[in-house]
Amino acid sequence: MASTRAFSTSWLLFTSSVVIFATLCAAISPYAPGLSEDFYAKSCPQAAEIVEHYVTKYLKKDSTFAGAFNRLQFHDCWVGGCDGSVLLNSTATNSAEREAHVNFGLRGIKEVDEIKAALEYHCPGVVSCADILIIAARDATVKAGGPWWPVALGRKDASESVDLLADANLPFPVFPFPLLVQNFARKNFSAREMVVLSGAHTIGQTHCNGVLPHLYNFTGGNNATDIDPAMNKGFATFLKKLCPQGNRTNTLFLDSTAGKFDNAYYKNVLAHKGIFITDSTLITNSLGKKLVTSFAKAKSTFFKEFADGMVKMGNLGVLTGSQGEIRKQCQFVN
C-alpha cells in the first residue's frame, strides 16, 4: 500500500514536471502558437529547397529582387498579419491591398506565383502563400550577403484583402520620426527595432513616387527648389536628375550598395543621403541618431538584430490550424 502511494506521488511529481517544462518551453518559444521550423517535414520536405531555388534564379536575373521580397513580407505582415493578403487581386466589388497608395510599385507578385505553382506541382494544397513570403524574404537576404535566421512555418492564407487597411497600417515614406515610432509601437515593436528594420533599405530599388516629397515642395509652398533641408544638397541634385518633378515611375537604387545587404544604409543616412524622408528623419532624433551611428559602425550587431526583428515580424497575426486556407493560386482565394 505504501509503495503504491509512493509510486502515485512520484508519478504525479513527474507528470507535473513535464507539464511545467512544456509550459516554460512554450513561453520562451520565439514563434507564434501553431508555427514550427519542421512544419512541412513530412507533408512537403522539399518546400524550402524549392523556394530557395526560385529565389536564387530571380536574384541572378535581378539582384534588387532581394529588396522586393523583404518588402513583401513587411507589407504583408504589417496589415492584419502574415497571411498572404498582400498577394490577392482586387475584385469587381473590392479594392485589394495591392491597390493601396502605400503599395505603389510593389514587386514580386508574379515571382511568388511561379514559386507557388512549383510547390503545388510537388505538394498540392500543402504550402501556404503566407509561408512562401516568409521563406523568400529570408533566403533573398542571405543571398544578398545578409544574415540568416530560422523560419517557423505553418501559416494559413487569408481570404480578404482591403486597400484602406494597408494605407491605415503601413508607414508612408514621408513619416517623421515620431510617427514611425508610433506606427511600430502599434505592432509592439520598439523605436530601436524600427531603426533596425529600416535597414532593409540597404537592398533593392524604389520608384520616384516615394522620393519626390523629399525633393520638391518639401514645405508645401509650391516651390520646386524647396528640398528637404536634412538632405545633402549635392545628393538632392543627383536625385533630381533621376526623378524629375512629377515623374513617379522612374526607378533608383535604395542605397550605394543596393545589391548587397550590408550596413551602408546607415552610413548613407549619417551623410544625409537617405532616399526617403523616413530615412533622413532617423537622425533628427537623438535616440535615432545614436542607433544609426551604432549600426553604421557595427554591422554584426545590425545583422543580429535585423534577423531577430524579421522573426518577430513573422509572428504577427498568423492564421493557423482551422483558420484560413491554403490557396491554390496566391492571387485568388479558393
* DSSP labels, 179-243: HHHHHHHTTT--HHHHHHHHGGGGSSEEEGGGTHHHHS-TTSSS-TT---TTS-HHHHHHHHHHS
Q: Is 85 annotated as a binding-site member?
A: yes
Of residues 12 and 169, more confidence is placed in: 169
The catalytic residue positions are 75
Average pLDDT over residues 95-115: 96
Average pLDDT over residues 239-268: 93
Q: Which pLDDT value is given to residue 218?
A: 86
Q: Is 325 annotated as a binding-site member?
A: no
* In contact, 72 and 133? CB cutoff 8 Å: yes
What is the H or E stretch that residue 146 is in?
none
Say if residue 312's pLDDT is above 60. Answer: yes
Q: Is 262 annotated as a binding-site member?
A: yes
Q: Which pLDDT value is given to residue 19?
A: 45
What is the H or E stretch that residue 253 is in?
strand 251-253
pLDDT confidence bin for 189, thresholds 50/70/90? very high
Say if residue 101's pLDDT is above 50. Answer: yes
Name every residue whose Cβ is closer than 8 Å to that of residue 227 and which is 6 or more positions away in sequence.
Answer: 214, 215, 216, 218, 233, 236
Q: Which pLDDT value is given to residue 5?
A: 53
Average pLDDT over residues 279-292: 96
Q: Is 190 annotated as a binding-site member?
A: no
Span of 129-138, 160-169, 240-249 with lowest mean pLDDT: 240-249
pLDDT confidence bin for 10, thresholds 50/70/90? low
Q: Is 83 annotated as a binding-site member?
A: yes
Say if residue 288's pLDDT is above 60. Answer: yes
Span of 11-15, 66-70, 181-185, 240-244 with lowest mean pLDDT: 11-15
* In contact, 294 and 267? CB cutoff 8 Å: no
Cell of 41: 517535414
Say if residue 26's pLDDT is above 50. Answer: no
Closest CA to 101 of 150, 166, 25: 166
Say if residue 129's pLDDT is above 60. Answer: yes
Q: Is 255 annotated as a binding-site member?
A: yes
Say if residue 6's pLDDT is above 70. Answer: no
Q: Which pLDDT value is given to residue 267?
A: 97
Q: What is the pTM of this model?
A: 0.90
The β-bridge relationship of strands 251-253 and 205-207 is antiparallel
Mean pLDDT across the chain: 91
Q: Is 157 annotated as a binding-site member?
A: no
Q: Is 81 annotated as a binding-site member?
A: yes
Q: How far apart are CA 47 and CA 141, in angstroms?
A: 18
Say if residue 279's pLDDT is above 80. Answer: yes
Tell me the pLDDT tens digit for each residue of 49-96.
999 999 999 999 999 999 999 999 999 999 999 999 999 999 999 999
Q: Tell me the Cα Rg of the chain.
A: 22
Q: What angle do CA 257, 197, 106 make, to 5 degrees?
A: 70
Q: Which pLDDT value is given to residue 21?
A: 44
